[in-house]
Chains A and B, each alone.
Chain A
Amino acid sequence: GQQVQQSPASLVLQEGENAELQCNFSSTATQLQWFYQSPGGSLVSLLSNPSGTKHTGRLTSTTVTKERRSSLHISSSQTTDSGTYLCAIDRGVVGQLTFGRGTRLQVYA
């Protein structure tokens, strides 16, 4: 089945530094989404990027479909960015997403 691997598993940054998160997937994806999970547990969709580059605020996602990889760049990290970032792939079956295990980001002041 579809595999989604995220790296690094965890990342510690000082406030103001940039973060680069990676997502690799094993087969063609029709859709790729990035989610943020707060330390309290709730998930929020950050952006959807099946191919190319997308920006929203301090976030930039670049997906290279042929190479089956996506990255999420967080610029000028803030302590409030701390949490877990999840990558999810739509398998082509309506409604079914496969999630990676996430990258846990900790930003300290």
Chain B
Amino acid sequence: DMKVTQMPRYLIKRMGENVLLECGQDMSHETMYWYRQDPGLGLQLIYISYDVDSNSEGDIPKGYRVSRKKREHFSLILDSAKTNQTSVYFCASSLRGPSQNTLYFGAGTRLSVL
């Protein structure tokens, strides 16, 4: 079953707390992504990972970092979360880059930073 799983689905944190968003895929995809979606802004790419320990910044990496130690798992970390990081975060994966292959998205994590 081709699936991208995000945990948790909903999260409430206080400003200054650390946040860990987790993403897993069962398709052995090389490439994984983290996006955030805000009302009226569409999806914005935070980080992209081309394989284990091969990560690149996207359009809005400031305030975020990522970790990919296994091909099937990609984490997004917010050190000392800020209120403007309240958003819906989507993880996605593709066999390689999106030019060659379909993107599969997770269901999203709705993060509120108070």
A residues adjacent to B (C-beta < 8 A): 4, 30-31, 33, 35, 40-45, 48, 86, 88, 90, 94-97, 99-102
B residues adjacent to A (C-beta < 8 A): 31, 33, 40-45, 48, 50, 56, 58-59, 88, 90, 92, 94, 96-99, 102-108, 110
20 contacts between A and B (CB under 8 A): A33-B103, A41-B107, A41-B108, A41-B110, A43-B105, A44-B105, A45-B102, A48-B102, A88-B43, A90-B97, A90-B98, A90-B99, A95-B31, A95-B48, A95-B50, A95-B97, A95-B98, A96-B58, A99-B42, A101-B41
Smallest CB–CB gap between B65 and chain A, Å?
18
Most buried by A among B44, B50, B58, B105: B105
The reply to whether A94 and B42 form a contact with Cβ atoms under 8 Å apart is no
Partner of A102, one of B42, B50, B99: B42
Contacts of B58 in A (CB 8 A): 96
Contacts of B48 in A (CB 8 A): 95-96
Q: Is the interface of A mostly helix, strand, loop or mixed?
A: strand
A102 CA to B38 CA, complexed, in Å: 12
Given pairs A95-B56, A96-B48, A96-B59, 6 additional interface contacts (CB within 8 A): A31-B99, A43-B92, A99-B44, A100-B42, A101-B40, A101-B42
Smallest CB–CB gap between B39 and chain A, Å?
9
Most buried by B among A4, A88, A99, A102: A99
Partner of B50, one of A35, A40, A94, A101: A94
A86 CA to B50 CA, complexed, in Å: 24
Residue of A with least CB distance to B50? A95
A88 CA to B94 CA, complexed, in Å: 15
Contacts of A86 in B (CB 8 A): 42-43
The reply to whether A45 and B88 form a contact with Cβ atoms under 8 Å apart is no
A102 CA to B98 CA, complexed, in Å: 19
Contacts of A35 in B (CB 8 A): 103, 105
The reply to whether B105 and A42 form a contact with Cβ atoms under 8 Å apart is yes
Contacts of B103 in A (CB 8 A): 33, 35, 43, 45, 97
